[in-house]
Amino acid sequence: MNSADTQAARDSSGGGWRRPQANSSGIERYFRVLRERAGLIALITLTTTLVAGAYLAVATKQYQAEADLLVIPASRDDPTLNTLPLIRESSDPTRDVETAARITASRNVAKRVKRELGLDESDEALLEQVKAEPVAQSNVVAVQATADSPDLARDIANGFADGVVAERSNVVRAEADKLIAGLRQQRQSAEDAGESTDALSSQIAALQTVREKGDPTMHVETRADAPESAFSPRPMLTIFAGVVGGLILGVGGAFGMSALDPRLRREEQLRDLYSLPILARVPKEKRAPTFTLGKRRFGLGPRERQRRALPPGELSAATLESFRTLRTMLAAQRREDGNSRSILVTGPSPSEGKTTTAINLASSLALAGNRVILIEADFRRPTVGEALGVRARVGIGDVLLGNVALEDALVLAPPFGDNLCALLVDRADDWLAEVLSLPAAQALLEDAKRLADYVVLDSPPLTQVIDAMPLARQVDDVVLVTRLGSSNISQLAHLGDLLDQNGIRPAGFVVVGGPGPEESSYYREAQRRRAAQSDWLVNFEQKSSSPGESETSETSTSSAKLSEAPFDRPG
């Protein structure tokens, strides 16, 4: 028992057992969730990384080339240029360059590039491959083209750079031709009138110069070269994004599952609910046999399955050691007062190991030299007799109804000598559970304590059926069995409400299904010795439970011995 369990034992002995223990800090809880869900986080991260790798394997490589256009806005003081459709100076130089960028990525330029390069794609598709963006704090427009080959990317970038200059030059030449024709008519009229034509001749000469050179406000500053490497996908960046994205999704999923998960996953959740000690930690068995119970509902879906109760002969050395620990924890009170003790074992829901715990607690107490009676109080799913390899001619129902004396109904569990007897349910029957509420139930418990040092009761889950609640009020200790990964938190809280409302303070928890101790030579040696005894014990149990005359004779002999003097203890 660790320090937290010791403190919980003090708190539960003084009342207030439903008060949670001191909560851990938020950072500790976060790291705890990350540790518990590390497998999920790793799986999601691995998946996203593999997806990123698959994307790199199948994605088409994209290449990007860039050409630069230099924009020189026309001065507003030049009367000749003011008559032409040119990009003119404005109060905001940025706007001049943005105007040039919009003109570059236009449909007219795209049509020109398609004709020159012989491309079959639509204008819209081609424009999606091109970006014309102003370069900050400059008069340069960067024309970027993306394609699936280096040469095509270069040709498209240069095509748009050359194309916009050519398109603008054609517009300027057309406008200059109109102006020149008009000025020539004016000059001819002036000559006919004998007026001076010098100014008109100067304007015509300036316009002819512009017409020859094209648009003076835009020209190609830098031509694009074929790129040496692909622009996309980028292997390092893609893998990094896959890893980071997986970590983000994994951590988010871990906290989401932790918040929404209704099942008990760790011992700290018990301490968050109750101030009770953990009496024993039963490791998960490598093989936990199950049997099919009932039929498929409406003939559909999987059959309902329940874990079979396991006797000591089928458990590992580490698991048996955990039940010895439970025995030691519960036997401490009897060493103080010397009186017989009664212990009821229950849990929040079925198939969590309560019957296995009851059987092995009783057998461990018996092997320590104590006289033990194991009472099966689960009338709906009796499995103790099958696990111990014995049958009863009469059961607990007959004893409670006064038809048979307790001594006559007890059955010896042969592998444990005369120290362990069982009071079994002879047949599953729901209505028999009602007799547990009779005053005879208290009398049964008192008689059993008179005959034995310990009375261990296997109870049904009290959240499912309330049958054993009268017995729970009378026993000395109530042990709650929970299974990691199986017990429902809400049912566990409901069980706490029931016990608290009936004035019952549990002794503590048995946590089933946790990781076992690390393999060591100590446990390997213990396992080797148990393997040598296992065949004998299993064969003995099989013989004791075989049908026929031998079984009837053995059961009768056992009952006869018990009727004379159970445990050889004077009444």
pLDDT at res. 430: 62
In b/e form, how buried is each residue of 25-61, taking b as 16+ CB within 10 angstroms? eeeeeeeebbebbeebbeebbeebbeebeeeeeeeee
Residue 571 pLDDT = 36
CB 156 within 8 Å of CB 129: yes
Q: Domain-by-domain residue ranges, the chain?
A: 63-222, 315-515+529-568
CB 374 within 8 A of CB 456: yes
Alpha carbons 1 and 15: distance in angstroms, whole number: 20
What is the pTM for the complete model shown?
0.59
The whole-number pLDDT of residue 440 equals: 78
What angle do the packed helices 549-564 and 521-545 form, to 10 degrees?
A: 100
Position 334 scores a pLDDT of 64
Phi-psi region of 320 (alpha: psi -120 to 50; beta: other; left: phi over 0): alpha
> Based on the number of CB atoms within 10 Å of its own CB, is 327 exposed (0-12), middle (13-18) or buried (19 or more)?
buried
At 424 the pLDDT is 92
- Four-way CATH pick for 315-515+529-568: 1.20.1730.10, 3.30.70.100, 3.40.50.1110, 3.40.50.300: 3.40.50.300
CATH of domain 63-222: 3.30.1890
DSSP SS3 for 403: coil
Q: Answer yes or no: are the C-beta atoms of 227 and 65 closer than 8 Å.
A: yes
Check for a shared fold between 63-222 and 315-515+529-568: no
Other C-beta atoms lying within 10 Å of the C-beta of residue 344: 30
**pLDDT means per 10 residues in the chain (571 residues)?**
50 58 65 85 95 91 94 81 82 85 92 93 93 91 94 95 92 89 88 85 87 89 93 90 95 85 83 88 73 49 63 88 92 73 92 92 93 91 88 86 89 86 82 68 90 93 85 92 89 90 92 70 55 47 44 39 44 36
Instruction: Determine the 3-state secondary structure of 199 from DSSP.
Output: helix
Answer whether 409's CB lies under 8 Å from 394's CB. Answer: yes
Give the residue carrying structure tokens 């760790």.
Answer: 266
Closest CA to 261 of 416, 490, 457, 100: 490
- The dihedral through the CA atoms of 143, 147, 152, 154 has a sign that is positive
How many Cα neighbours within 13 Å face the side chain of 21?
22
CB 321, CB 534: distance < 8 Å: no
Mapped onto helix, strand or coil, the DSSP state of residue 252 is helix
Q: Would you say 347 and 487 are in contact if contact means Cβ atoms under 8 Å apart?
A: yes
* pLDDT value of position 11: 47
Euclidean distance between CA atoms 512 and 379, whole angstroms: 23
63-71 and 420-423 as β-strands: parallel, antiparallel, unpaired? unpaired
3-class secondary structure, 71: strand
